[in-house]
Amino acid sequence: MSTTSLFLTAAGVGLAIAAPVGPMGMLCIRRALTGGPQAGLAIGFGIATGDAAYGLIAALGLVSISQFMLAYDRPLHLLAGLFLLYLGVRTLLQKAPADAPNGNGEGNGKLAQVGRAGALRAYASSLLLTLTNPQTVIMFAALFTTLAPRGAFSSSVALTTVGGVFCGSIAWWCFLVTVVSLARHAIGSKLRVAIDRVVGFTLAAFGVVEIRRAL
């Protein structure tokens, strides 16, 4: 398999992995609705970065790190569950923001600064949530075994695979955020409240599931 074919195949795998709507997808949709495309993309890049980090661990054969993460699988699931439960409850309790009277009013600089800070927080939170699932290392190890040419596994092959998965994942998050952003201005405050309720309950439910996995 050529490098280009390997990259495209890995990108397809990354797209397939990211596409199912789970807790991170729900979080990305909500942040794109409430904070705009910058916040939604920050969530997506955080997820893709976490997957890439675990992919590199599997690709470079860092056995000690992967064994350490897998050994603390339960505490990590507990941490993820508590964080998801917190996000779900906070979403349920948060009031829908009032629509701005105009989009070109005063204070645009301040809003941009707050947006950057919010995007950084969104990136960090999604990265940490992704890193609390060390079983991703096993998934990537199986992926490398499947995609790498027999007898030709090398660092370049591994890095090409990781890069492909990362790009495929990013492509999905960009598509999702674009669709949500286009629909964002057509959604009224009542529908946003309903979406917040659904997302809040979903995040809290995923959090409970993660906590039960840790017990």
Length of the chain: 215
Task: Classify residue 92: in a domain, yes or no.
Answer: yes
pLDDT (tens digit per residue) in 77-114: 888 888 888 888 888 887 655 554 444 444 444 434 34
In the chain, the percentage of residues whose pLDDT exceeds 90 is 9
Task: Classify residue 79: in a domain, yes or no.
Answer: yes
CA 101 to chain centre: 32
pLDDT at 45: 93
Backbone torsions φ then ψ of 149, nearest 5 degrees: -60, 140
Query: What mean pLDDT comes out for the span 189-215?
Result: 83
Q: How would you class 211 by CB atoms within 10 Å of its CB: exposed for 0-12, middle for 13-18, buried for 19 or more? A: middle
**Structural domain for 178, as ranges:** 3-96+108-214
User: Is the model's pTM score more than 0.85?
Assistant: no
Q: Say how many domains are in the chain.
A: 1
Task: Classify residue 102: in a domain, yes or no.
Answer: no
Q: Are 80 and 129 in contact (CB under 8 A)?
A: yes
Task: Classify residue 69: in a domain, yes or no.
Answer: yes
Task: Classify residue 163: in a domain, yes or no.
Answer: yes
Task: Classify residue 122: in a domain, yes or no.
Answer: yes
What is the spatial distance between Cα 36 and Cα 97, in angstroms, rounded to a whole number? 13
Q: How far is CA 51 from CA 15, 85, 128, 145, in A?
A: 12, 22, 11, 17
Residue 175 has pLDDT above 90, yes or no: yes
Query: What mean pLDDT comes out for the span 59-80?
Result: 74
Task: Classify residue 103: in a domain, yes or no.
Answer: no
Task: Classify residue 58: in a domain, yes or no.
Answer: yes
